[in-house]
Structure 1
Amino acid sequence: MAKQLNIGIVGYKFMGRAHSNAWKKAPLFFDVPSQPVLKVACGRHQASLQEFAQKWGWEETETDWKKMIARPDIDIVDVALPQNLHYEVAMAAARAGKHIFCEKPLAMNSRQAEEMLRVCEENHVTHYLNHNYRRLPAVLLAKKMIETGKLGRLFHWRCAYQQDWIVDPNFPLTWQLRKETAQAGPQWDLNSHAVDLAHFLIGDIDTVSALTTNFVTERPLADESTSGNLTAETLGDQKGPVTVEDAALMLVQFQNGAVGSFEATRFATGKKNGLTFEIYGSKGSVKFDLERMNELQYYSLNDEAGEQGFRTIQATDPTHAYMQGWWPPGHIIGYEHTFVHAVVDFLWAIDGNKPIEPNFSDGLRILTVLEAGLESAATGQRVKLN
């Protein structure tokens, strides 16, 4: 029987559910070196926390995360919280020698990220940052094509992450719309995913030019007990200022000479979670759409003249990353499976005492780019990264 690793999760709403499902499913579909045990669920509101724990199979509950981290029987701390709470929880977990599975974006700023990385390294804990889209088979196919030279020299990266959940001006002022709890708007939340994919597929970014804007400047105050969800309720007629941007656009130059664009917005009417990227090279191109996440579009200049065109590759065959653990060819997987893949890789990283990517070092690199974008938008100047 595999050894056990006890997990303590902090946070039990959207990401708490996604993470719980992944911890439960990983050993059912994949070979893992350790059996994850859902030991303790931690949150502020005991009644809803207890309901969550019973539903997902967490053995115990705790309303004080410091007590949970201090327990000697907790091996892994799962940080499924808003980003303003990542720093304090992750720092305490690292100092206690706990391995850390953390949601994105990593922190509120690069200074926090630097310290989080340093303390994790000093205490020799495995640290993982959950940019889960890296673990889509179609994205990994694009990575393989780039590494094997199928696209040739890379020229262009074009990425858009578009949602529409705050188009209604009466949508309440949830934590995602306040600087003190979110740091920034889609530049932080959505472009963190986009920049991670760009780093993964294209390389490091050299310069950034950006603009941001607001379409709605004040909103009804939110009921904090429901503001972790996109169906949050208002407290009445009282309103407060929106202190983060509604949309952000960046133009970048990569260190390898490629150029790129990023669009992140919560005002793309009709787009629920539309993440797309396009990569154009000297020998071919690829296109990806999260809303068709099992597919990769591929164009090759090596095809015969008159037969060239974008073809659809279904990344569902067992030859594609992770698919050997799931269903027969042609049977698609979904959003939740990326979390399972992350858990599997995380458990193997702990077992082998090896790093996993993306980690807090990657998170720091991402935040450096996002901060440069906000600086550029504020000053109107192009920013060169150190």
Structure 2
Amino acid sequence: MDKHGIAIVGAGMIGAAHAFSYRNQLPRFAGQLAGLSLDTVADPNAELAHSLAATYGFQRTAADWKAVMADPNIGIVSVALPNFLHVEAVESALKAGKHVLCEKPLALGAADARRLYESGKASNVCAATVFNYRRIPAVAEIRNLIAAGELGEIVNVLVQFQCEYAADPKLPHSWRYERDRAGPGSLLDIGTHAIDTARFLCGEVDEVAGAVSTISIKERYVAAGSTVGHNRVELSDEKRTVDNDDVMSALLQFRSGAQGMFSSSRVAIGMGNTLSFEVFGTKATARFSTKSLNQYEIARFDGSGQSCFTVVPNRPASPYLGRLLPVPYDGVGVGYAEIFNFMMAEFLTAIAEKKPIANGTLLDGLRAAEILDAIQLAADTRGRVVIEHASA
């Protein structure tokens, strides 16, 4: 693909994050990718599409994402559509020979994710899954410590993603609360990030020893008009059933022998949007929370029985910061927008170098989907599920 026009399909909350990051990275890659430009925002909501295009400098809008796939001037596509449209849109992009970055989850289930992975392998384009939390400098640094043996043998992992966005019962019903269109609820919507983070840090998960799910808000009112993201709007008198989880918890078995405790919630009051984990090894424990995005903590075994945690702040030597942060200086904060920028830089670098992306591949999307399917099955059957990973 010689054309490098960029298109965002889906002009909602997460589409805006993609648009912001592309605009930020445009000058960095303009000399490496001929004709790199902010081309099209596609969304059936014309007002939303025009607003996003005008805000970030995209040249055009389209009412149908399929028009993007047919446009020969567009070579790079971000898929930021509702979950149930991911597979169709990514397949279309791959068939059209376009580089594609798909929001999580890659698919509603492992079977469809497998199909996308196989299609991606057969293509000559860069295809990736958005696992942006891997690019948090502290998370990447903890992964490097684990790989170097600094924590020793990993014994157990606690990982959770806790959000408050659905705690308000007056938040309108949408596709997010329908299992046939969203898949599992908190498990797929935000638990995907937690599962990928656990894999990124500690390797493959081969078994789910058990899981439980809860739907705490069983019905929601339908919006009187259109909605975007998690916005609160005027409600109609119509109610619809919520049939996917608000909370999911599971016990995981890693291939390494480590055990893991996983939890996701979209109704966790006071938690905002928080990914956190603790990794316990035979030599040290590392812990992190997005509530303290610019640091992690580590406690190394000292034999005293009272080993203490030390705070390790972001610094120029931290992953990504010296190369990509505008002000790579001790104590300069990193936020969600920068993490998206780090991800976009990796995606565009892979395209420029004509190499597969190494961090957040379609295989990573598939492996996460396999684990999520197993957690859902364990919750549905109240049983143990051995994960059958598709061959890579």
Same fold (TM over 0.5): yes
Q: What is the CA–CA distance in structure 2 between the aligned matches of 1:110 and 1:223, rounded to whole Å?
A: 35
* DSSP-derived class of the 1:165 partner: coil
Q: Calculate the TM-score normalised by the size of structure 2.
A: 0.93
Q: Deviations over 1:310-335 (max 9, x none)?
A: 011002x1111111132122111100
1:367 to 2:369 alignment: yes
Determine if contact 1:18/1:336 at 8 Å carries over to the other structure: yes
Amino acid at match of 2:377: E
* DSSP-derived class of the 1:124 partner: coil
Partner in structure 1 of residue 249 of structure 2: 249
Matches within 5 A, 1:114-193: 114-193=114-193
Indicate which of 382, 385, 389 corresponds to 1:383.
385
Shift of 1:168: 2.4
Q: What is the CA–CA distance in structure 2 between the aligned matches of 1:267 and 1:118, rounded to whole Å?
A: 36
Q: Deviations over 1:160-207 (max 9, x none)?
A: 111122222222212211113211101111110011011111011111
Determine if contact 2:29/2:348 at 8 Å carries over to the other structure: no
Partner in structure 1 of residue 18 of structure 2: 19
Shift of 1:27: 4.4
Q: What is the CA–CA distance in structure 2 between the aligned matches of 1:98 and 1:81, rounded to whole Å?
A: 17
Amino acid at match of 1:133: Y
Shift of 1:269: 1.1
Shift of 1:102: 0.9
Amino acid at match of 1:34: L
Partner in structure 1 of residue 290 of structure 2: 290
* DSSP-derived class of the 1:75 partner: strand
CA shift in 2, pair 1:55/1:307, >3 Å: same
1:323 to 2:321 alignment: yes
Q: What is the CA–CA distance in structure 2 between the aligned matches of 1:4 and 1:313, rounded to whole Å?
A: 43
Partner in structure 1 of residue 206 of structure 2: 206
* DSSP-derived class of the 2:4 partner: strand
Partner in structure 1 of residue 219 of structure 2: 218
Shift of 1:41: 0.8
Indicate which of 341, 351, 360 corresponds to 1:358.
360
Shift of 1:223: 4.4
Partner in structure 2 of residue 9 of structure 1: 8
Q: Calculate the TM-score normalised by the size of structure 1.
A: 0.94
Shift of 1:307: 8.3
Determine if contact 1:219/1:239 at 8 Å carries over to the other structure: yes
CA shift in 2, pair 1:286/1:78, >3 Å: same
CA shift in 2, pair 1:299/1:100, >3 Å: same
Amino acid at match of 1:323: L
CA shift in 2, pair 1:214/1:16, >3 Å: same
Matches within 5 A, 1:29-44: 33-34=32-33, 36-44=36-44
Amino acid at match of 1:298: I
Q: What is the CA–CA distance in structure 2 between the aligned matches of 1:355 and 1:182, rounded to whole Å?
A: 28
Amino acid at match of 1:365: R
Q: What is the CA–CA distance in structure 1 between the aligned matches of 2:28 and 2:152, rounded to whole Å?
A: 36
Partner in structure 2 of residue 348 of structure 1: 349
Shift of 1:294: 1.0
Q: Which runs of 5+ in 1 are unaligned?
A: none
Q: What is the CA–CA distance in structure 1 between the aligned matches of 2:203 and 2:371, rounded to whole Å?
A: 12
Determine if contact 2:171/2:230 at 8 Å carries over to the other structure: no
Residue-pair matches, total: 381
Q: Deviations over 1:308-359 (max 9, x none)?
A: 41011002x1111111132122111100111111111111111222221211
Shift of 1:33: 3.1
CA shift in 2, pair 1:167/1:299, >3 Å: same
Q: What is the CA–CA distance in structure 1 between the aligned matches of 2:169 and 2:45, rounded to whole Å?
A: 29
Q: CA RMSD in A?
A: 1.8
Determine if contact 2:77/2:101 at 8 Å carries over to the other structure: yes
Determine if contact 1:159/1:277 at 8 Å carries over to the other structure: yes
CA shift in 2, pair 1:347/1:121, >3 Å: same
* DSSP-derived class of the 2:318 partner: coil
Q: What is the CA–CA distance in structure 2 between the aligned matches of 1:307 and 1:137, rounded to whole Å?
A: 28
* DSSP-derived class of the 1:369 partner: helix
Shift of 1:306: 8.7
Amino acid at match of 2:366: L
* DSSP-derived class of the 2:190 partner: helix
Shift of 1:210: 0.7
Identity, % of aligned positions: 33
Determine if contact 1:33/1:347 at 8 Å carries over to the other structure: no
Q: What is the CA–CA distance in structure 2 between the aligned matches of 1:264 and 1:48, rounded to whole Å?
A: 30
Shift of 1:126: 0.8
Partner in structure 2 of residue 194 of structure 1: 194
